[in-house]
């Protein structure tokens, strides 16, 4: 039994250090050393058992709704996928234990340790999970796992981690909730049932893995299909594409506060498009002189900016509600900036070479990335530039200027740094994804050229 436990830990270690294979730099050496310290049986047992009481293992979690929730005070469900009702819609009932595991949610500092222990408990010895051996009070299993506990009741320590059931249904005022009519009289309070939707974290992770491995830009099948489309040649077989794919972020700069799987995804969760058919966007005209002047004229931007200005001018109390509402309105402006970015990216690449374009270089790098495929000097300058930081600073400067216009608010440097941080967090992530995408396309074209 111990041999199987050590073998499981060794596989986890090898998977972790595989990404540093061939690297000899200081950072790689430090990460490999850290991995060896983390992925030892003794470490996994001790650290996992010590944090079991503050972490829940679940397939459906509440913390995606509000990261400050204490997991033991609300319901987080750990369901068997095969026991869910069969439905025609896509849902968690389509998953199997072989395809997807539960998640670890609770304290962001120890979610990872709890998750490693959970994976060990899910590993099998003689066709049974280690958790099942412990549940049957098998003496060999109790002895093997006793390393991680400070009590004699070994099985209880580990069942605390795996048990996501509360004594009774429990929710919280910070959770999304809705009253669902189950009776016949909508005027009768007893005719309603209170629902608290939970986030299907196991399903979300499975969808993320599927989309990441099967996008239009990755995978041999999709590459061959894309080449055939480009060359206008016949192609046998299909391809996978997810047009208008959206990314929902959970946890901000600390995705580990939500859950372990959310941390592994960098807080990213894919949302498939749900758009009206035959959608036609309005004509888009690129800014030639001042990008933020053009941005500020957009109707939704003006509306959100007016709401934020009106709220700040009301001199709200300095409390969490005020901060949350301010940050929500700021996040809406950040979203509008990204929509503006995507709109301008739909313009034919190279529009910044027009003699009438007076945009600063950093704004050209931001709004005309496709030009890099046509202009090597532009591509190199863009690669070397920290344009996302400059654009974030200008966005913050624009927001301060608009808030102070015809107002006594007098926002200054402190607010500028706050706005800049909010804009930069999104633009930096966007730049990384855009650069990765362009690199993938460039590598694909080079592979095609070499093959020719």
Share of the chain above pLDDT 90, in %: 35
Q: How many helices (H) and strands (E) does the chain have?
A: 17, 8
Strand locations in 261-349 (E): 268-271
Q: Which residues 6+ apart lie within 8 Å of 18 measured at CB?
A: none
Helix (H) or strand (E) holding 114: helix 111-122
By DSSP bridging, strand 128-129 and strand 178-181 are: unpaired
Q: Do 333 and 301 meet the contact criterion of CB atoms below 8 Å apart?
A: yes
pLDDT for 215 equals: 65
Q: Domain coordinates of the chain in residue numbers?
A: 2-162, 281-452
Spatial contact of 114 and 48, defined as CB atoms under 8 Å apart: yes
| 141 Cβ neighbours under 8 A, 6+ residues apart | 1, 130, 133, 134
Residue whose structure tokens are 């595989």: 18
Q: Which residues of the chain register pLDDT less than 70?
A: 97, 99-100, 147-155, 157, 163-167, 213-218, 277-283, 438, 440-452
User: Are 431 and 372 within 8 A, CB to CB?
Assistant: no
The residues near 56 (Cβ < 8 Å, ≥ 6 apart) are: 71, 72, 76, 78, 104, 105, 106, 164
Q: In this predicted structure, what is the pLDDT of residue 397?
A: 96
Q: What is the pLDDT of residue 451?
A: 47
pLDDT tens across 256-310, in order? 989 999 998 888 898 888 877 665 555 678 999 999 999 999 999 999 999 999 9
Distance, CA of 405 to chain centre? 36
Q: Is the pTM of this model over 0.75?
A: no
CA distances from 277 to 250, 280, 283 (A): 29, 9, 18
* pLDDT (tens digit per residue) in 389-417: 999 999 999 999 999 999 888 999 999 99
Provide the CB-side half-sphere exposure for 27 (13 A, CA).
2
Give the DSSP letter string of 170-218.
---TTS--EEEE-SS-TT-GGGEEEE---B-HHHHHHHHHHHHHSSTTS
Q: What pLDDT score does 338 carry?
A: 93
Whole-angstrom Cα distance, residue 175 to residue 322? 18
């Amino acid at each position: 039994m111990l041999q199987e436990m050590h073998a499981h830990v060794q596989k986890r270690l090898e998977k972790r250090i595989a990404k540093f294979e061939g690297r000899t730099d200081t950072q790689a050496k430090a990460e490999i050393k850290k991995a060896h310290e983390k992925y030892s049986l003794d470490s996994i047992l001790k650290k996992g058992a010590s944090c079991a009481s503050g972490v829940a293992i679940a397939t459906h979690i509440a913390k995606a709704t509000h990261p400050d929730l204490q997991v033991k005070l609300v319901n987080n469900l750990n369901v068997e996928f095969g026991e869910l009702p069969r439905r025609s819609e896509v849902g968690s009932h389509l998953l199997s234990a072989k395809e997807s595991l539960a998640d670890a949610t609770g304290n962001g500092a120890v979610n990872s340790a709890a998750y490693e222990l959970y994976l060990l408990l899910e590993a099998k010895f003689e066709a049974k999970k280690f958790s099942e051996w412990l549940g049957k009070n098998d003496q060999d299993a109790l002895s093997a796992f006793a390393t991680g506990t400070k009590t004699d009741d070994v099985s209880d320590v580990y069942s605390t981690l795996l048990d996501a059931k509360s004594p009774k249904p429990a929710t919280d005022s910070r959770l999304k909730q809705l009253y669902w009519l189950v009776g016949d009289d909508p005027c009768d309070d007893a005719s309603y049932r209170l629902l608290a939707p939970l986030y299907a974290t196991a399903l979300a992770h499975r969808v993320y893995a599927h989309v990441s491995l099967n996008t239009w830009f990755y995978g041999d099948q999709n590459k061959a299909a894309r080449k055939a489309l480009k060359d206008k040649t016949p192609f046998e077989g299909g391809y996978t594409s997810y047009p208008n794919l959206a990314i929902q972020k959970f946890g901000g700069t600390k995705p580990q506060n939500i859950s372990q799987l959310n941390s592994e995804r960098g807080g990213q969760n894919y949302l498939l498009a749900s758009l009206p058919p035959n959608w036609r966007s309005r004509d888009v005209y690129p800014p030639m002189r001042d990008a933020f002047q053009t941005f500020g004229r957009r109707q939704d931007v003006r509306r959100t900016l007016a709401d934020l200005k009106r709220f700040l001018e009301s001199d709200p109390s300095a409390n969490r509600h005020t901060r949350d509402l301010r940050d929500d309105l700021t996040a809406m402006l950040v979203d509008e900036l990204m929509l503006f970015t995507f709109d301008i990216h739909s313009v034919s690449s190279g529009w910044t070479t027009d003699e009438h374009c007076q945009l600063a270089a950093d704004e050209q790098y931001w709004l005309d990335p496709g030009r890099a495929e046509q202009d090597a000097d532009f591509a190199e300058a863009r690669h070397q530039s920290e344009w996302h930081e400059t654009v974030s600073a200008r966005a913050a400067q624009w927001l301060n200027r608009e808030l102070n216009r015809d107002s006594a608010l007098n926002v200054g440097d402190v607010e500028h740094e706050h706005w800049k941080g909010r804009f930069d967090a999104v633009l930096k992530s966007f730049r990384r994804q855009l650069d990765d995408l362009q690199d993938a396309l460039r590598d694909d074209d080079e592979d095609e050229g070499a093959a020719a």
